[in-house]
Amino acid sequence: MIARTLLTLLSGAALIAPIYAHAAEENAPDAVEEQVQETAPETPEEVVPSQQAVKDSTQLHEAIDALIKDAPEASQKHFMALYHTHNILSVVKTVRHDVGNAVKACSENNPDMADKMNARFDEWKTAVAPVLVEAEGNINNM
């Protein structure tokens, strides 16, 4: 179930990415008109969590460990399944919100792309919705 949720989430990026590629093709200058100077690819900077984030994460893991340490192994597994399902569900909802804001802003700034972009986002939301309902149902049944 978790793998299916992640797969659906990641497929959303695949649905929206062609829109950006299409926009780049439409706005790209002809190669004859302008020569593009090749540069070395940029190396992404390493993302380092803040000290507060590390502290908060450590405290959370310690609290979870303390909460479940005396529980039977089956109950520990059950709790961790619930915890991870809730986390993934929250991430998918956050991504849906953020991508929705990005699609809205991009549509306003690129009206020629708005219909296709909104259609792809709607397709993604339609694909994700039943997975979210199932995940919420699993959480409520645990």
Residue pair 9/127 in contact (Cβ under 8 Å)? The answer is no
**44 versus 69: which is more confidently predicted?**
69
As given in the structure block, the two tokens for residue 107 are: 């549509």
Q: Is residue 43 part of a domain?
A: no
Specify if 6 maps to a domain. yes
Q: Give pLDDT tens digits for 22-40.
A: 444 455 555 444 555 566 6
Q: Which of 40, 1, 22 is nearest to 119 (CA)?
A: 22
Residue ranges making up the domain that contains 107: 1-12+73-142
- The verdict on residue 7 lying in a domain is yes
**Any domain includes 38:** no
Q: Is 96 among the domain residues?
A: yes
pLDDT digits (tens, 9 = 90+) for 52-109: 999 999 999 999 999 999 999 999 999 999 999 999 999 999 999 999 999 999 999 9
Other Cβ atoms within 10 Å of 141 Cβ, number? 7
pLDDT at 126: 97
Considering the entire predicted model, what is its pTM? Answer: 0.62
Cα–Cα distance, 136 to 34 (Å, whole number): 53
Residue 103 lies in a domain: yes
Q: How many structural domains are present in the chain? A: 1
